[in-house]
Amino acid sequence: MDKNKALVVFQDKRIRRIWHQNQWFFSVVDVVQALTDSPSPRQYWGVLKGRESQLLTICLQLKLPAEDGKLRFTDCVNTKNAFRIIQSIPSKKAEPFKLWLAQVGCERVEEIQNPELAQERMKVLYEQKGYSKSWIDKRLRGMAVRQDLTDEWKKRGLESQEDFSILTAEISKATFGMTPLEYKKHKGLDKENLRDHMNDLELIFAMLGEASTAEIERVKDPKSFVEHQNVSREGGKVAKKAKTELENTTKRSIISKENYLDAPEKEKRKRLPAP
């Protein structure tokens, strides 16, 4: 599940959610805080479910990221049962929250039925953040290539994000000479998404490394994790070869320290010298 989609905001209140059993489930504590502005939403929820024990029957314990970043079991409800929680909480925000919940609760269902909706929403999000159409097109294409690669990994029995991270690091190291973590430090990033701070060419060569790896996966059909690592290095080397050839021709490094923390990508693009 995309971490960006697993967190939504209602009137500046962050509400965690998780896609489970083909529907969204929302953190009850976060819903309580959004409705009540209580400084102790967990205590408020504890009193509420103690008073109305039937509320416990509509909750599922699902793992959501806590403040320390670790996944912890949390009381969660689907959209239908979230409305039941709202009925038990006196709040002036109840009606606008119901409208908001109805919207965000069905977004994922709509996207499954029509995947183009997800892409359009992503475009709007990046436009609002100040990215150019040219950059957005490459970023979205890179996401599709990444999905294709992870699908190939999953076909061969790899499932954990840890495995994906290790193999992604192999591709990046072979392509750019740096793991994603090292690349983030190079760009002066902390918790930000690395690819959201890559320029056009960096995105293109990252995409080439992953597309090449996916194709080699299909041809060689690796069985062991070590074989997957070797394939990832091979895919990265294909991208490195193309990157090096361009750098030798232009006499300029593809790798940049540039990020978009101080100014939006669209603004920085305008400042680039004319070719």
Domains of the chain, residue spans: 7-113, 117-271
H or E element: which one contains 198? none
Residue 4 has pLDDT above 80, yes or no: no
| The pLDDT value given to residue 168 | 97
Give residue-wise pLDDT tens across range 160-170.
Answer: 889 999 999 99
Residue 91 pLDDT exceeds 90:
no
Q: Of 106-110, 264-268, 270-274, which range is least confident?
A: 106-110
pLDDT digits (tens, 9 = 90+) for 176-195: 999 999 999 999 998 889 99
Q: What value does the mean pLDDT take over residues 226-248?
A: 98
- 87: pLDDT strictly greater than 60: yes
For Cα atoms 3, 5, 28, give the angle at the middle one, nearest 5 degrees: 95
Q: Mean pLDDT for the chain?
A: 87
Q: What is the pLDDT of residues 16-32, one digit of tens each?
A: 988 888 788 999 999 99
Measured at the CA of 74, the angle between CA 58 and CA 102, to 5 degrees, comes to 55
Angle between helix axes 200-220 and 225-250 (nearest 10 degrees) is 140
Establish how many alpha carbons lie within 13 A of residue 210's alpha carbon, considering only the half-sphere containing its beta carbon.
Answer: 24
Strand order in the sheet with 71-78: 7-10, 13-20, 23-27, 71-78, 60-65
pLDDT for 124: 80
CA angle at residue 263 from 138 to 269, to 5 degrees? 45
Distances (CA, A) of 272 to 198, 265, 266: 15, 11, 10
Rounded CA-CA distance 97/103 in Å is: 10
